[in-house]
C-alpha cells in the first residue's frame, strides 16, 4: 500500500489563550498543498521504519526509529487495538524539516489511515482523530483533508470547504525554528496585531483571489522574523516577484507565496533559487492524504 502525505500551509495562525497545563489555544485556517511525502506500507512481523530524503532535506534532522512520529503512530494503533500484526514502513521525505509545513504530522496521519486499512481495523474517523491528537496538535487536521478552521489545541477541526486551488511557491530560507521557543517569545510580546479569521475564511471559501490580503495573518511571524530576518526577507521577495500574498507558515521557517498563474509561480521560483536552496512550486488542494 502507498499513501501520499501532503504538507499544509497556515492561512491564519492566531493564539487566543493558554490552558493551565501550558498548552496554547489556537485559531487557525489550514489547507493542504501538493508538496508531499510518500509512505509505502507492507506487512511484517514487527514495526519497522526506513527513511530516505530528497537531497535538499536535512536528513540529519529526521527523528530516527521509535522517536519518529510514523513509528509512534503505528505503535499507538497497535497498542490501542491489540492487533497482532506488524508493518514495514518506507518513508520518502520531500517536505522540508522544521518548516512549519506539518510534514511529520502529515506522515503520522498517513500511517494511521494506511494501517487502519492494511490491518483491517475499521476504526471510525472519530477514533482515529482521538488517536491523532495524542501524536501532535496538527495531526487531526490531516485526517480532515480539506481547508479547515482548527481551534483549541488542535482537536476542534471544522471543514470550511474544499478550498481554492491556487499556485504557490514555498521557500525555506533558513534552518527550522523551535516551536516551543516561538510560543514562549510570543507570550512575552505585546501589541501584536490579530488576524481577521472570519473574513479570511469567507474569502477562501469563495475562492476570491482578488481580495486576498498581502499578509493574511500569522501572529508568530513577527517573533520568528526577529530571530531569523531571512523569513521576512523571503516573504518580501515573493511579493516583489508577483505574489498576491506571502507569509510564514506555522512557526516557520518556511514562507509561502500565492500566484495568479503557474507561469508566474515558476518564474518567481527560478529567481528564488538564485538565493535559496529549498524552493518548490506546488498548489493548494483539497485532499491531504491519498491512498493508492
Mean pLDDT, range 151-175, rounded to an integer = 95
Residue 51 and residue 68 in contact, taking contact as beta carbons nearer than 8 Å: yes
Q: Where in the chain is the domain with CATH 3.30.70.890?
A: 167-283
pTM across the whole model: 0.95
Taking residue 14's Cβ as centre, other Cβ atoms within 10 Å add up to: 20
Which SS3 state, helix, strand or coil, does residue 171 take?
Answer: strand
**CA 237 to the chain's CA centroid:** 22
Q: Looking at domain 167-283, what is its CATH homologous superfamily?
A: GHMP kinase, C-terminal domain (3.30.70.890)
Copy the grid coordinates of residue 247. 507569509
Active site residues: 8, 138
Q: Which helix (H) or strand (E) holds 109?
A: helix 103-118
Q: How confident is the model at residue 60 (pLDDT cuts 50, 70, 90)?
A: low
59, pLDDT greater than 60 = no
State the CATH architecture for 2-161.
Answer: 2-Layer Sandwich (3.30)
Q: Where would I find the beta strands (DSSP E) of 45-164?
A: 47-53, 86-93, 147-152, 156-161
pLDDT of residue 183: 79
Mean pLDDT, range 282-286, rounded to an integer = 97
Lowest mean pLDDT among 56-60, 109-113, 131-135: 56-60
Q: Where in the chain is the domain with CATH 3.30.230.10?
A: 2-161
159, pLDDT greater than 90 = yes
What is the per-residue pLDDT across 243-263, written as a single tens digit (0 to 9) for each?
999 999 999 999 999 999 999
What is the per-residue pLDDT across 171-180, written as a single tens digit (0 to 9) for each?
999 988 778 8
64, pLDDT greater than 70 = no
Amino acid at each position: 500500500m502507498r499513501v501520499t502525505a501532503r504538507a499544509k500551509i497556515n492561512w491564519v495562525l492566531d493564539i487566543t489563550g493558554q490552558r493551565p497545563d501550558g498548552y496554547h489555544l489556537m485559531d487557525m485556517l489550514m489547507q493542504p498543498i501538493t508538496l508531499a511525502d510518500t509512505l509505502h506500507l507492507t506487512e511484517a512481523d514487527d514495526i519497522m521504519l526506513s527513511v530516505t530524503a530528497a537531497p535538499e532535506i536535512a536528513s540529519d534532522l529526521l527523528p530516527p526509529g521509535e522517536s519518529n512520529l510514523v513509528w509512534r503512530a503505528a505503535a499507538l494503533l497497535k497498542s490501542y487495538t491489540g492487533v497482532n500484526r506488524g508493518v514495514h514502513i518506507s518513508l520518502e521525505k520531500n517536505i522540508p524539516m522544521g518548516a512549519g509545513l506539518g510534514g511529520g504530522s502529515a506522515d503520522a496521519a498517513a500511517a494511521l489511515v494506511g494501517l487502519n486499512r492494511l490491518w483491517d481495523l475499521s476504526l471510525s474517523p472519530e477514533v482515529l482523530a482521538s488517536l491523532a491528537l495524542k501524536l501532535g496538535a496538527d495531526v487531526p487536521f490531516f485526517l480532515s483533508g480539506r481547508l479547515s478552521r482548527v481551534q483549541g489545541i488542535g482537536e476542534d477541526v471544522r471543514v470550511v470547504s474544499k478550498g481554492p486551488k491556487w499556485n504557490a511557491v514555498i521557500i525555506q530560507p533558513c534552518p527550522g525554528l523551535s516551536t516551543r521557543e516561538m510560543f514562549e517569545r510570543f507570550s512575552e510580546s505585546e501589541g501584536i496585531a490579530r488576524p481577521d479569521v472570519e473574513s479570511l475564511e469567507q474569502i477562501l471559501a469563495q475562492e476570491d483571489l482578488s481580495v486576498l490580503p498581502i499578509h493574511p495573518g500569522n501572529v508568530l511571524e513577527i517573533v520568528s522574523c526577529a530571530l531569523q530576518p531571512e523569513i521576512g526577507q523571503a516573504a518580501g521577495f515573493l511579493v516583489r516577484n508577483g505574489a498576491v500574498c506571502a507569509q510564514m507558515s506555522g512557526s516557520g521557517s518556511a514562507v509561502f507565496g500565492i500566484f495568479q498563474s503557474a507561469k508566474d509561480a515558476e518564474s518567481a521560483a527560478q529567481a528564488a533559487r538564485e538565493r535559496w536552496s529549498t524552493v518548490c512550486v506546488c498548489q493548494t488542494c483539497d485532499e491531504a492524504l491519498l491512498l493508492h
